[in-house]
Amino acid sequence: MNMNPLFSKPVALNISHLDVIDLAERCELLTDILVDSENPAECTLLCQYLYAHLDALKENLDKPLPKSRIEQLSVNHASEFPDSQSFADSDDLCDYSQAVTQVLLCHALPQNAKVVLSGLLMKLMNTLVDNLKTPRFLRAKVQVA
């Protein structure tokens, strides 16, 4: 249960079966919906859920990944690792995303500022998901005798 002073009531999440990539993808989906929403009440609710998911994501960043995720994020040769183009680490991206989400929850912004900040939030979330899905493990070579 996430309680933030900007929330009118606590946001309950069922995330026990989700890893950080699942959580980040859920945040990305909420952001995609937010960008297209023109209903203020819906935007508020989306921001509340997004903030709660970002909190959960941040709490789980340092937890070990399941073996299935490690396999998905593994490559056979070091040359297959992509060049890093990230401007921040995942922790920072979560912080930036939460800050933008809090600003969007304040309701005192002109519409054009909301559109710009929603777009920024979407770019931050896309970058975070891309970072988390970037291969980072090298598969061990099995020697056949």
Chain mean pLDDT for the chain: 87
- The DSSP symbol for 133 reads H
The answer, yes or no, to whether residue 17 has pLDDT greater than 80, is: yes
CB 47 within 8 A of CB 105: yes
What's the full length of the chain, in residues?
145
CA distance 122 to 125: 5
pTM of the model: 0.84
pLDDT over 80 (residue 12): no
Mean pLDDT of 22-40: 95
- DSSP 8-state code for residue 64: P
Least Cα distance to 69 among 22, 117, 3 occurs for 22
pLDDT above 60: residue 7: no
pLDDT tens, position by position, 76-117: 988 888 876 555 689 999 999 999 999 999 878 898 999 999
User: Does residue 63 carry a pLDDT above 90?
Assistant: yes
